[in-house]
Structure 1
Amino acid sequence: MSEAVPRNLAPRPVKHALQLGLKANWRQFALLVLVNAFVGAMVGMERAILPAIAEQEFRLVAHSAILAFIVVFGVSKALTNYVAGRFSDAFGRKAILVAGWLCAVPVPFMLMWAPSWNWILAANALLGISQGLTWSTTVIMKIDLAGPANRGTAMGINEFAGYFAVGAAALASGWLAARYGLRPAPFYLGVAYVVLGLVLSVAAVRETRDYAHHEAGAAAPAALPSQREIFARTTWRDPDLSSISQAGLVNNLNDGMAWGLFPLIFAAAGLSLPQIGVLAAIYPAVWGVCQLFTGALSDRIGRKGLIVAGMWVQALGIGLIALATAFAWFASGAVLLGVGTAMVYPTLLAAIGDVVNPAWRASTVGVYRLWRDLGYAVGALLSGLVADRFGVPVAVWVVAALTFLSGLVVAVRMRETRHAGKERATARR
């Protein structure tokens, strides 16, 4: 089999020697952290208030109808993730990042002035496309810059920025909704997020694809597998990648349930809109902050144990929320859910970087993120249908059980991957 790579993937000459690592690239890395914070804030502005808008303004009753916006978001984001990775390999990262921000421009205006629920669904389809392009690309660009030694740390910082911003934006939109009404005031923030993210991406972010080529090595480039082969490896053929993909799907399955059902659970318990906003912020904020530590921890102790334990901690947090009736217990469950998710989220991305050749890493990340973000749609559909049929508590317990089983799959099927990148480099030499 020929070892040649397509021309657009061959290492390119650059004006100066490229250095991998966070210290060598800290300015560009910090800029991408800031950009990803604006990406996360675009999702956060919805989390505390869209279920309330569905019930109070559009008079939706069925849980499956209310959660339809998450289904639309999840499907559009998942499909966009799939092509974003491949396009990033083919056309470069920066162009895909800018295209994602352009897709986000209409979203806050559609949410402000939507005359029907279908407009909300359309806005979330655009938001999903934007998130698939922007978040996927910032992940890939940080992996490019960090190199193998700091991959977990880089992913922890990236996901911290995104999900801490989700929590902060949820808290801000909940406060604005309580003070000024559900619409349009909370979505003014979205206009600022889009403008800042787009301007920074166009004017300051630099292309990072050459860093991936540099890591792959000019001396012995690997043949690029077909997209079908990459899809098969990531989905079922490779036990490490397929274990990672199912864990990512289930992780976002429970997040889709939390996004749609938790505000309704909190409201049914008699909590006020500001309290619901605080609870909606706790989970992603804890998730975000803890990733500063869990990503780096995975570089030291390995990936597999953190993933397994994280899925089981998430299951415990979900179960506690199912049992709770008071704010303090809801908050405790949200903290556990955030901690467990932080143990899993950056570690899954770092594990992919461990086992995949840099030449097709972006494509593999795209397939993984396809399955991971389909979890939003699966979680919203499953929990909505079960809630309508058997009640909200049963839906929450079903998701908790699936989360526990997902951790068990990783424990049985996945190997430790932390040293795979070093082994691959040694074999190439």
Structure 2
Amino acid sequence: MKGIREVTSDYRIIITSNMEGIQNLSVGALEAFLPIYAVTVAKLDPFRAGILWGAQVVTTILAKPVMGKISDRYGRKPIIFSGMWICAVSLACIPLMQDFYFLILLAAIFGVGEAFVTSSSAAMVADFCKEQNYGAAMGTFGSIFDIGHAAGPILAGLLLSRLSYQYSFIIIALLLIVSSFIFALKVPEKQREVKL
């Protein structure tokens, strides 16, 4: 309980974890509704709709180790901030496109942005935490991650029941952008030793 209290009272850990949570909100929204958009609006067949989702996931898997190494060397904060913007811009552009190749490009770009945030945010939480509280910090991080992922389809579904894809995705993209500025202003970059 002491470890949980220390972790949840550290605003740096909470805000950094929230970057992952909010970014995962956009992932949940995209995973739930990109295939539906692809079939109903872009008029793609189900196979191509599945490829769009696969492009996002495969790109994230391939980019995570690279982005993790870059954040080890150059710092976590700029990677997380950039990743939030990459996700926001690509998400907002998806409803503007109906061509399969443009959509697959945007899905892949979104996957890169996801890798930026995911690879660096967990590492940054670990950087901020005391050794004896790693478990509590990672548990808190994981809970926020899961809440965001589960909330994405719910929020997107609520928005889409009242608004178009374009406005719904723009609202979620704006959440990412606003969050990135809060993160940039409130969370300091932990000083790291740069290896040459």
1:384 is aligned to 157
Residue type matched to 1:337 in 2?
Answer: F
2:32 is aligned to 260
Question: 1:306-345 to 2 correspondence within 5 Å?
Answer: 306-345=79-118
User: For 1:137-167, what per-residue CA distance to the aligned partner results, in whole angstroms no more than 9, with x for missing partners?
Assistant: xxxxxxxxxxxxxxxxxxxxxxxxxxxxxxx
User: For 1:71-126, what per-residue CA distance to the aligned partner results, in whole angstroms no more than 9, with x for missing partners?
Assistant: xxxxxxxxxxxxxxxxxxxxxxxxxxxxxxxxxxxxxxxxxxxxxxxxxxxxxxxx
* Residue 418 of structure 1, CA deviation: 5.1
Bigger radius of gyration, 1 or 2? 1
Contact 2:92 2:166 in 1 (8 A): no
Secondary structure at the counterpart of residue 88 of structure 2: helix
* Residue 325 of structure 1, CA deviation: 1.2
Identity %: 24
Instruction: Decide which of 302, 305, 311 is 2:78's aligned counterpart.
Output: 305
Structure 1's consecutive aligned runs of 4 or more residues displaced over 4 angstroms after TM superposition are none
* Residue 230 of structure 1, CA deviation: 3.6
Q: Is 1:247 equivalent to 2:4 in the alignment?
A: no
CA distance in 1, matches of 2:148, 2:121: 15
Secondary structure at the counterpart of residue 390 of structure 1: coil
Contact 1:303 1:348 in 2 (8 A): yes
CA distance in 2, matches of 1:310, 1:418: 20
* Residue 244 of structure 1, CA deviation: 0.6
2:58 is aligned to 285
User: For 1:382-413, what per-residue CA distance to the aligned partner results, in whole angstroms no more than 9, with x for missing partners?
Assistant: 11011011233322111111111121111111
Contact 1:303 1:418 in 2 (8 A): no
1:145 is aligned to none
* Residue 348 of structure 1, CA deviation: 0.5
Contact 1:351 1:418 in 2 (8 A): no
2:131 is aligned to 358
**RMSD across aligned C-alpha pairs, in angstroms?**
1.6
Unaligned runs of 5+ in 2: none
Unaligned runs of 5+ in 1: 1-223, 421-429
User: For 1:357-405, what per-residue CA distance to the aligned partner results, in whole angstroms no more than 9, with x for missing partners?
Assistant: 2212011110111112101222111110110112333221111111111
1:225 is aligned to 2
Instruction: Decide which of 347, 367, 370 is 2:120's aligned counterpart.
Output: 347
Contact 1:306 1:343 in 2 (8 A): yes
* Residue 225 of structure 1, CA deviation: 2.2
* Residue 320 of structure 1, CA deviation: 1.6
CA distance in 2, matches of 1:308, 1:405: 11
Relative contact order: is structure 1 or structure 2 higher (C-alpha 8 Å, sep ≥ 6)? 2
Change (3 A) 1:418 1:259: farther
Change (3 A) 1:226 1:349: closer
Q: Normalising by structure 2, what TM-score?
A: 0.92
Residue type matched to 1:244 in 2?
Answer: T
* Residue 419 of structure 1, CA deviation: 2.9
CA distance in 1, matches of 2:130, 2:108: 36
